[in-house]
Structure 1
Amino acid sequence: MDLAQPGDVIAVRGGTYALTDNITITTSGTSARPITLGAYQGERVVVDGERLPASHTPVGGSIARAERGAIHMEASYWRILGLELVNDPYGVYCDSCDHNVFSGLSTHDNYESGFQLQGSSSGNQILNLDSYGNRDLRKNGESADGLAIKEGSGTGNVVRGARLWNNVDDGFDAWKFTSPILIENTVAYGNGHNRWNFPDFAGDGNGFKMGGGSPAPAVGHTLHNSIAFRNAAHGVTDNGNPGALALTRNSTWANAGTGFDADVTAGTAILTANLSVADARAAAIGSGTVADENSWNPCGTWDASSVLSTDPGAITGPRSADGALPPAPNFLVPRSGAAVGARF
């Protein structure tokens, strides 16, 4: 990547590439001439980091910053498309990155988060990401998320069309990110279960963790038309974020904790037209939170009989040819026709 210049296109032929050093990107493109890295004509390109020393960091160890990520980026105006990243110390690790497009990536079975964006990073688009089975042996599951945008700042970051599942910690994590993020048309499920038999398991297990920190910064992240189900903890949680979260037309189902956890006493979240089905608890609402036209307003019990289908097979199936999520016109759609919850 050292030779790449603005406007270049790097097309990688199909195959499995076993890394002995990570791919470090520090040269930026420009707004008019971004640099493109992607699979050649849709061929399957697998980047395998099993041989990277940082993939096998022991319990209690730390990963040096420069070794984080099969793709380690500190650059802007790139388009990274259609790659599969496995067995890496993070799949993609992007620190201080602006105006990049990441589309159609699959980041799975990595030894830290599948995708992490942090630092001063603005205007990035993460589109149609599948991130699953990521785990961190060194922290007994405390850290590896499907997608983490955390410990940083920067406006205009967008997540759209992602599926984040069976990760050891959370599906999506916005811990200590101090600027608003937009997440929409995204699904998070099965996170936080100890599938690896860690002896001192520390995974959190939220579908969408919408902030956090000590103290948590007040940030108005937006979650729209998204679904969280069968997570080990909450479907959606403010995680202590007292900011003006906007949670609109989302659905939660069969989460072991609360469907919508927005219980910061001084929080200013707004929850509108959301649906909770058969969660351990539908919602926890703080005194400063506004919640209108949701399935639990003013009261009500929603179970499997209340919706057309609780079969996730459609939404978890193969993506469309253009990379979009597969249609799931009945999944968690109210039988009554009530205008609550997500639609796919």
Structure 2
Amino acid sequence: MNTLSKRTVVFALPLLTAIATSASAATFYIAPTGNDSAAGTESSPWHSLARAQQAAKPGDTVYLRGGTYTFTAATSSCATRRASVSGVVLDKSGQAGQPIRYWAYPGETPVLDFAAMKDDCRVKGIEVTGDWLHLKGLEVTGAPQQPGNRLNHESWGIWINASHGIYEGLNLHHNMGPGLFIKDGSDNLVLNSDSHHNYDPYTSNGAGQSADGFGAHVSAGHPGNVFRGCRAWANTDDGFDLINAYSPVTIEYSWAWDHGYLPGTRTSLPAGNGNGIKAGGYGGKYVPNGVRHVVRFSVAFGNKVSGFYANHHPLALDFTNNTAFANGSDFNMLGIAPDGSPVYLGTLRNNLSPSPSTLKVAGADSAHNAWDLAVPVSDAEFESVSKLGWDAPRKPDGSLPDLPNFRPRAGSALVDKGIDVGLPFKGKAPDLGAFER
């Protein structure tokens, strides 16, 4: 969408400009065939991120050449079988306007593969604790659990406890836990990234219980975390999970489908929750200091349980211009009252579902959605209603592919039927759903 491209440029341009004009910025290189005793140049690259981090300073760029980087052991030993260890630790910070960049070399794909690690505890493939970092174009796979250790929950592809980071163009897959997880920190942007086929078979509370595509469980006082232009599919738990987040998080222009199943099948996993975007909640308990998350311009379909789910959140969440179809429940606004009783909460505007019978929104603040307006949502209103192709290659700039799927056709009853909520739109009024005609 044009809106996505504009928002991305506005956010990233000041950082890139600052880097480009920094006379002291250096460029280093690593490669699977490199040597940490080398010079770190393009013709004589280092081998490891650890060696590159030793040299990198704010404003510098580390290019990862294409190929597979295989990790066989963590940077430290497991203190106990319940401890956590990491394959890579990025703990050196950049500065405002001068992040340290860890980027794929243009036109190449570096694959960081942690599957060969045998550490008998939880594994963070990449642990990020440094602020002002920019990771771009990396493929992260294989963060393992050990079959003989069922004392823990998930491992993680990328685990973040840092602020002001950009995590762009990442491909996170086949990890035994979430592809990317923001444990804490402020103002992180996860941009144009994919997380799919993550499955935690040895989690202590059931196979598939904790392998989300993306998660953010940040503490109070850490606002500004955003997922933009991201896709999550075929993960065994949820696509996006904001449970126990005590600072506001935004999910926008993102897609989530086929969750809660054994990856690549329609075999239900009993422990896998199976929601597309789980936008809140505090473990089913009422808390007085819950926060308001935002989900907008996003799509959820084919999920075992809910497309968009409030997850017992104690106050109304914002759901604006989203499209849901073929989920167990397209929109489920189940909240929780101060006395612990169930109540339906949410502020819903300009959303679209072709199956009103699946909605659980009674009592929520629902207005100007397709079901409120009694707008017809038949197949004829869209250019295509295909469930296929959503994982198509991204555009050269990394943004989502242009698909006809569930986009209003010319003359559709969905066009200009929404209400202005202060967000960009074309025409006389916003269209209903995630896509503007």
Give the structure-1-normalised TM-score.
0.89
- TM-superposed deviation, 1:9: 1.1
Q: Against the structure 1 CA distance between its residues 196 and 326, is the aligned structure 2 distance closer, same or farther, given a 3 Å change threshold?
A: closer
- In structure 2, the residue matched to 1:318 is 393
Whether the 8 Å CA contact 1:314–1:326 is kept in 2: the answer is no
Whether the 8 Å CA contact 1:180–1:220 is kept in 2: the answer is yes
- In structure 2, the residue matched to 1:158 is 226
Larger Rg: 2
Say yes or no: does 1:343 pair with 2:435.
Answer: yes
| Identity across matched positions, percent | 32
Q: Distance in 1 between matches of 2:214 and 2:98?
A: 27
Please state which structure has a larger fraction of its residues in strand. 1
Q: Distance in 2 between matches of 1:300 and 1:337?
A: 7
Q: Distance in 2 between matches of 1:200 and 1:136?
A: 11
Q: Deviations over 1:243-302 (max 9, x none)?
A: 2311011000101x21111132555521001001247x4421253x21001111155774
What is the DSSP-based 3-state SS (H/G/I as helix, E as strand, rest coil) of the residue aligned with 1:247?
strand
Letter in 2 for 1:269: G
Say yes or no: does 1:261 pair with 2:353.
Answer: no
Q: Against the structure 1 CA distance between its residues 227 and 82, is the aligned structure 2 distance closer, same or farther, given a 3 Å change threshold?
A: same
Letter in 2 for 1:235: G
**Within 5 A, what are the aligned runs for 1:215-254?**
215=285, 217=287, 218-254=290-326
- In structure 2, the residue matched to 1:172 is 240
Which of 23, 33, 37 is the matching residue for 2:88? 23
Q: Distance in 1 between matches of 2:163 and 2:362?
A: 35
Letter in 1 for 2:386: D
Whether the 8 Å CA contact 1:94–1:116 is kept in 2: the answer is yes
Q: Against the structure 1 CA distance between its residues 330 and 196, is the aligned structure 2 distance closer, same or farther, given a 3 Å change threshold?
A: closer
Q: Distance in 2 between matches of 1:133 and 1:330?
A: 22
Which of 93, 107, 110 is the matching residue for 1:42? 107
- In structure 1, the residue matched to 2:347 is 270
Q: Against the structure 1 CA distance between its residues 262 and 204, is the aligned structure 2 distance closer, same or farther, given a 3 Å change threshold?
A: same
* Structure showing greater relative contact order (alpha-carbon pairs closer than 8 Å, 6 or more residues apart): 1
Say which is worse superposed, 223-232 or 268-277, in terms of deviation. 268-277
- In structure 2, the residue matched to 1:283 is 359
Whether the 8 Å CA contact 1:151–1:175 is kept in 2: the answer is no
Letter in 2 for 1:327: D
**Within 5 A, what are the aligned runs for 1:1-344?**
1=50, 2-3=53-54, 4-20=56-72, 21=74, 22-54=87-119, 63=122, 67-68=123-124, 70-88=125-143, 89-95=155-161, 97-119=162-184, 121-139=185-203, 140-153=207-220, 154-195=222-263, 201-214=270-283, 215=285, 217=287, 218-255=290-327, 257-264=328-335, 265-266=342-343, 268-278=345-355, 281-287=357-363, 289-297=364-372, 299=374, 302-333=377-408, 335-338=412-415, 339-343=431-435
Q: Distance in 2 between matches of 1:91 and 1:343?
A: 31
Q: Against the structure 1 CA distance between its residues 41 and 298, is the aligned structure 2 distance closer, same or farther, given a 3 Å change threshold?
A: closer
Give the structure-2-normalised TM-score.
0.71
Say which is worse superposed, 204-213 or 260-269, in terms of deviation. 260-269
Whether the 8 Å CA contact 1:82–1:106 is kept in 2: the answer is yes
Letter in 2 for 1:174: L
Letter in 2 for 1:50: A
CA RMSD after TM alignment: 2.2
